[in-house]
Amino acid sequence: MAKHSIAPKIGMTLSVAAALGSMIVAPLPAAAQSKGIGGLFACEGSGKKQEGGALIGAAAGALLGRAVAKNEKTLGTVVGAAAGAAAGAYIGCRMQSTDQALAQQATKRALDSGRSETWSNSRTGASGRIDVVSSSYGPPIDGQNLRFERGVLQLRSYDAAGGDYTARAAANLRSSPSTTGKVVGKLAAGERVEVLGGAPNSNWLLVGRNGYGVGYVSASLLDQGGYAQASCRIINASISTKGAAPSSERYSACRDGKGEWQLTTV
């Protein structure tokens, strides 16, 4: 008797799951992979916002599954959670198409120029900021191949730096790539600066004089002159949308063989 009563319920559970599946077109959160700027803020992109929506959807789906199959809670919960996760992935894509376009344009400007960019949409209330954390202009530089003044921290490797730099204002040179580093020198406003390399994953540059590293300075205090095309940059993308908590994601962006930026989550 029990065998006959279970079969219809399982069939009903699978039918409901199939119906839900036919209604859900959004993909599950994907693993981090390289993507162009055009896909960075698309609905199928991975990120904390979408994954959070997927988790919420999974929880709701699990409750739905239990309601559908009270006596077969394990099967009902698994089927419901799978459907809910897919629905949550769709709910997690909160950006309107106009927001996506604005964010993509700001990201390209930031990657091309090496400067932070902001965007906002008064119609939707969404806004965001793309901060350039660091830039690289070639293969890493071995720190052992550089010479340093006494008291200046030597790192294992440095990001290649390109172009000429000029101090935007008077600035301190520090013994390490941090505001906690000891002040070991000064830059005068308008002074041309020799940059030997950049501290990895940061916005600090190693300043050189006569081929010796004499201290670190924040890249935000320097203006880059001439034309130097970065091969890779680290950026931080922050997004705020109406009715949702702000979120941010860090990406590594490198140019491909066609000169297009390809990004991966870091």
Structure confidence by residue, pLDDT tens digits, 26-45:
343 444 567 788 777 777 54
Q: What is the pTM of this model?
A: 0.56
The alpha carbon of residue 52 and the mean position of all alpha carbons in its chain are separated, in whole angstroms, by: 16
Residue 215 pLDDT more than 80? yes
Structure confidence by residue, pLDDT tens digits, 124-153:
999 999 999 888 888 889 999 999 999 999
Structure confidence by residue, pLDDT tens digits, 225-260:
765 678 899 999 999 988 888 888 899 999 988 889
Q: How does residue 96 score in pLDDT terms, banded at 50, 70 and 90?
A: confident
**Dihedral angle, C-alpha 79, 81, 87, 91, nearest 10 °:** 170
The first and second tokens of residue 199, run together, are 């501290």
